[in-house]
Amino acid sequence: MQRHARVFFALLALAMFHAAPARAQEAFTVVGKAYCAQKVGVSVRDVLGDGPRLKIASVMMRIGDKVTAKTRLIGYEAMLEQVIQEKMKLSRHTVASNESLLQTALVELKKIKDANREVKLMRERGAASPLDVQLSNDQVSLMEKRIEYLRTVVQSEQAKVEQRQEKAVSDFGADVENKKFPKNFFEEAGIDGYILYVNPKLLPGAVFTRADTDMLYEIGTLENIVVRCAVHEIQALRLKPGEPVDIVFRAFPEKTFQSEIRAISIVSIPSYLQQPSFYEVEIPLDNPDLRIKDGMRCDVTFHPAS
């Protein structure tokens, strides 16, 4: 009797366990950090190109400035070597060379067509064979194809020169028609955003060489922030993209931001073999009032689904 009772209660407990609704997993919190969604850094070599040195003439930015893609940030002296290099890019010698080849081919085509007509007349008189006519026709066809190719090459080279001219005018304010360049070149922002960093050595009169690997300045967007954090391998398995997240920044703990998981890396953050693995979780966050700054630390609370 007692044995039957134990079996009954065991079955009852099992049935109650399966009938109970699944409970949501417990929330957990990790430390995260805010990053600009888009960030561009410009180094000495980016501006220097193939030149031997970079001498700064003017600096037209400060940390925090809002800039557009066309905003001029620094001016630098145009080195003789760089001016020569830019003038070579604007040279039309390749276009002229291919135009000359095209004109020669057109003259040659006229001669071949004249010869082709003579061969056909000779064929009508029985003084030339069908093979002679066929060979003459093939010569005309081959020369026409060569001319078509040369015209394509001339058009392509002409387009490249025009693009280089437009770039020279835009980047350097060059007088393309007279092949003149200003004394100073200017570097533009390239993207819309805010100045995040300016090298303290970036001052008028400063000189940088090819040996310098310094970052001159950095631009980033602040309206959209990305929060990244490292999550332990066991906890990472509980998370899925789209799940809700609460974020509280150390700088203003009274405010809680809501967002959701955008991505979970499939490759762990590098660590020693004997240490546990962590995976990077990425969370987008709107920042319309620019309150959140690049690099701010925060507490990220995840709410895994059941």
The architecture in CATH of the region 39-78+183-218 reads Beta Barrel (2.40)
pLDDT (average), residues 112-126: 89
- What pLDDT is stored for residue 5 in this prediction? 45
Q: How far is residue 61's CA from residue 127's CA, in Å, rounded to a whole number?
A: 83
Helix (H, G, I), strand (E, B), or coil: what is residue 232?
Answer: strand
Closest CA to 259 of 238, 284, 290, 241: 284
User: Would the CA dihedral through 239, 240, 242, 243 be positive or negative?
Assistant: negative
pLDDT: which is higher, 59 or 51: 59
- The pLDDT tens digits of the residues spanning 19-41 come to 444 445 789 999 999 999 888 99
- The pLDDT tens digits of the residues spanning 85-96 come to 666 666 777 788
Return the structure tokens found at 216: 């001159």
Q: How far is residue 168's CA from residue 116's CA, in Å, rounded to a whole number?
A: 48
- The pLDDT tens digits of the residues spanning 236-289 come to 999 999 999 999 999 999 999 999 999 999 999 887 777 889 999 999 999 999
Helix (H, G, I), strand (E, B), or coil: what is residue 239?
Answer: coil
Closest CA to 228 of 168, 173, 184, 278: 278
In the chain, where the domains are located: 22-37+221-302, 39-78+183-218, 93-172
* pTM of full prediction above 0.85: no
Q: How far is residue 28's CA from residue 304's CA, in Å, rounded to a whole number?
A: 9
- What pLDDT is stored for residue 98 in this prediction? 84
The architecture in CATH of the region 22-37+221-302 reads Beta Barrel (2.40)
Q: How far is CA 191 from CA 41, 98, 145, in A?
A: 11, 38, 45
Partners of 300 in beta bridges: 30, 247
Q: How far is residue 91's CA from residue 199's CA, in Å, rounded to a whole number?
A: 36
